[in-house]
Amino acid sequence: MKKERGITLIALVITIIVLLILAGVSIAMLTGENGILTQAQNASKQTEVGAEKEAISLAYIGATANKEGNGAVTDTDMDDQFGLNGTKADAEGTSPIIVTFDESNRQYMIDENGNITGPLEAPEETPEPEAGGSIATMDYGVIEIKWLLGDTNYVSETPNAPTIKEDLPEGTTMELVRYENGNWVSGTDYNYVAGSGTEDNRESRWANAKVTIDGVESYFVWIPRYAYRIIYFSSQDTKDAYLTNGDTSGIIGYSDSRGIVDVNGRKVNGVASTTSLNVGDYFRVHPTFTSDINNGGWKEELSGIWVGKYETAKSNATSSSSGSGTTIKVQPGVISWRNETIGNMYTNAKAYATNLNSHMLKNSEWGAVAYLTESKYGRNGEEVTTNDNYNYITADAGISANPEQSSTGNETGIYDLSGGAYEYVPAYYNGSGSLSNGSSFASQNGPSTEYATAYTGTSSSTSTAYKPGDATYETSGWHGANAYFVNSDYPFFSRGGSGSDSSTNPGVFYFSGNNGSADGDHSFRMCLAVK
């Protein structure tokens, strides 16, 4: 008799397991991150992207040829070429131009030299967060930065190149300079290098420019357009853990495009939320570079600003004399301009170079400098050393001797941000109280302008007074700096603190109110909005 032979249960199970494994492997080979189908899709996408970039390049070449060297290529020129070539795409904006393809909805940027960047990650509108959040303390925070392309809200891997204006009146010039062997010479030497961990970063070299008006030289530093967010931690230890090994367990909240929110994304009571653009991970475009005048913006979008490298001085000031007259220079080793009302400072700053949109540094612009200084592209969280020169000499008499007093810890940064003289900024409480010392820009219930910012409350933590990016409520008391908001008695903001009086706890995040009078310990800083 023949024995019946069949498959055992164990063998059946093993066979099924092997088949499942083989099926899983096959599916993974097809659909995994490196699978055949995924690779095919990626290859198809790359082909499409290559074709789109080629279409942009051909359109730009054609537009350039039609210009015959007369002016820059415009979005209209690009649209004309797209029409001739049968390319379904639209161009908008200037320097850079943003191109959007109809079918793929992919976007690219093309600069004035024809360089193409993209596809771009489009910003999104931030959803309204729920109420009910709270943050126990905002004393420990990290400011994170994303660079933005041109005057757009698209993220870039590198900061915008500095804008230099060449078509200036006779007697006025502007040029990029670098520090070499103790002197400023023509040329470029900038690289906005990121620090790491918790160590002071002194490798970042910010762009510098020299403006010469009727033989008088002044120096400015480039602050490129960026988006930011602030991450708050429960302690210094948890902050350090995040910076050294990425530990997020100590995060207690954020200040970003949602407003001030707790770790769960609920807005903190009393502080305004926002529906501003979300530039990836809720990064907020810093208002300084936007047309949001109410929050300290300019009258149009900016690719960056030029900030006075030192506190302002009179054109004939020296290390032993504050000088006379009303013309300006921005140089190291001279006595800063003081004993002037905030209103007169405002007027003189605007008159310095109207063709460069010169003006008195605003509160939001101070904030833009402070945040970049605190970020990994500045001092990486290290406190800026105070200029404690009791004679109010800019850069404490020498930039080479005291680089730790700058925003970069080297000669390329901005000086006198901590100490020196208090610095008035054209920002004020527009409620009750006397505004006579700032009548050139301030008025009761007055609106904000591109040159001055009105605050409608006397407590920075409330929705009526909170303004993102101005380095008041968001960073109040950081590095031990004093923080006193404006009110009806002291309606005008001053920044930085006094180096001659350590009891004021000066610092980049210092702010206080003042009556705007012509004080012997108050100066101001210049800013240029060059287009």
Q: What is the chain's pLDDT, residue by residue, as a tens digit (531 residues)?
A: 444 555 688 877 787 887 877 766 666 565 555 666 556 566 778 899 999 999 999 999 999 988 876 778 999 999 999 999 999 999 988 778 999 999 998 999 898 888 998 898 878 888 889 989 999 899 999 999 999 998 989 998 899 999 999 899 999 999 999 999 888 999 999 999 999 999 999 999 999 999 999 999 999 999 999 999 999 999 999 999 999 999 999 999 999 999 999 999 999 987 876 667 889 899 999 999 999 999 999 999 999 999 999 999 999 999 999 999 999 999 999 999 999 999 999 999 999 999 999 999 999 999 999 999 999 999 999 999 999 999 999 999 777 778 999 999 999 999 999 999 999 999 999 998 899 999 999 999 999 999 999 999 998 888 889 999 999 999 999 999 999 999 999 999 999 999 988 788 999 999 999 999 999 999 999 999 998
Torsion over CA of 249, 252, 257 and 260, rounded to 10 degrees?
180
Tokens of residue 166, six digits: 């060449």
CA atoms of 110 and 152, how far apart (whole Å) = 12
Q: Measured between alpha carbons, how far is residue 32 from residues 24, 112, 364, 384, 401 in Å?
A: 10, 40, 47, 49, 58
- The model's pTM: 0.87
CA atoms of 112 and 175, how far apart (whole Å) = 19
Instruction: Kindly calculate the radius of gyration of the chain based on its CA atoms and give it in whole angstroms.
Output: 28
Measured in degrees and rounded to the nearest 5, phi and psi for residue 367 equal -60, -40
Are the C-beta atoms of residues 450 and 299 closer than 8 Å to each other? yes
Helix (H) or strand (E) holding 9: helix 9-31
Helix (H) or strand (E) holding 18: helix 9-31
Measured in degrees and rounded to the nearest 5, phi and psi for residue 287 equal -55, -25
Widest CA span in the chain: 125
pLDDT at 505: 93
Are the C-beta atoms of residues 193 and 204 closer than 8 Å to each other? yes
* Helix, strand, coil percent content, the chain, rounded in steps of 5: 25, 25, 55
Are the C-beta atoms of residues 490 and 474 closer than 8 Å to each other? no
Strand partners, 141: 232
Torsion over CA of 415, 420, 422 and 427, rounded to 10 degrees?
-10
